[in-house]
Amino acid sequence: MKKMVLVITGAAGSGKTTICKYICAKYHLPKVVTHTTRAPRQGEHDGIDYYFESDASFAQKHFLESVHYSGAQYGSSIEGLEAAWQTAPLACIVLDTKGALAYQRALSDQVLTIYLTVDVGKDSAAALRKRMEARGDDPEKIAKRMQSAENKRDQQIPQELMGHATIIKNNDLPTAHRDVDAFMATVIAKLKS
Ligand SMILES: Nc1ncnc2c1ncn2[C@@H]1O[C@H](COP(=O)(O)OP(=O)(O)OP(=O)(O)O)[C@@H](O)[C@H]1O
Ligand SMILES: Nc1nc2c(ncn2[C@@H]2O[C@H](COP(=O)(O)O)[C@@H](O)[C@H]2O)c(=O)[nH]1
């Protein structure tokens, strides 16, 4: 069976990690664990949520792509993808939009992409901030992230992903789950054909 990767991308707090966990649990997909130099959040575990790295250990990895995001480094390796593919032909990964573009360019027809949005009118930014607060993020870090060039960029789907990515609204989880399930039904049908 062809090996594929499902990339989940979108703005900070849009629910990428939440939706990835939902998909991996429901559809038994392996998650590609990426690397970061940021500190773990409460409840995050090394090797499960991320490989937490120092600047020195990060520099020694062989990345398919890597980015700076709001003051920390993040990167995903071919080895990580291959490890996920050892367990199933479809793996899932959470990336910023720069990483999603890199995957699209490097792996083209092996990539499926979901771009998540949160659209609750003019208060969408406040809703995203509240979600990050609910996650337990430090208020200063939230402010820095909200103001970062990376997060401003990720508020919109990159032009190059238009036509490749499926846009799913995550205003509320039950509706997002329903839309993700409809998307996954088409993916599973395609993989079987
Ligand atoms: N539809 C939703 N309604 C309310 N809260 C949500 C919803 N989806 C996710 N959340 C919550 O919002 C917070 C941010 O979600 P999550 O960590 O999945 O976002 P993310 O896109 O991965 O963020 P980041 O890019 O900052 O890592 C979490 O506390 C999560 O439980
Ligand atoms: N391009 C990449 N982006 C990544 C990678 N791992 C995570 N991410 C994205 O970084 C931001 C910040 O993540 P957070 O866990 O600190 O909130 C978010 O958009 C992630 O999707 C990666 O390996 N490459």
pLDDT tens-digit profile of 11-57? Answer: 999 999 999 999 999 999 999 999 999 999 999 999 999 999 999 99
Q: List, in sequence order, every beta strand (DSSP E) within 33-79.
A: 35-36, 51-52, 63-69, 72-77
Ligand 2 atom showing the smallest separation from residue 38 Cα = 16
Is pTM, for the whole model, over 0.80? yes
pLDDT higher than threshold 90 for residue 192:
no
Q: What domains sit in the chain, N to C, each tagged with a CATH number?
A: 4-31+89-192 (3.40.50.300)
The binding-site residues of ligand 2, defined as CB within 6 angstroms of any ligand atom, are 16, 34, 38, 65, 67, 69, 74-76, 94-96, 98-99
**ipTM of predicted complex:** 0.99
Tens-digit pLDDT profile for residues 130-152: 999 999 999 999 999 999 999 99
16 Cα–ligand 1 center, Å: 7
The residue among 141, 148, 143, 150 whose CA lies nearest residue 126 is 143
Ligand 1 atom showing the smallest separation from residue 19 Cα = 18
At 5, give phi and psi (nearest 5°).
-135, 135
Tens-digit pLDDT profile for residues 47-97: 999 999 999 999 999 999 999 999 999 999 988 999 999 999 999 999 999
Dist CA 103 CA 181 (whole Å):
23
19 Cα–ligand 1 center, Å: 8
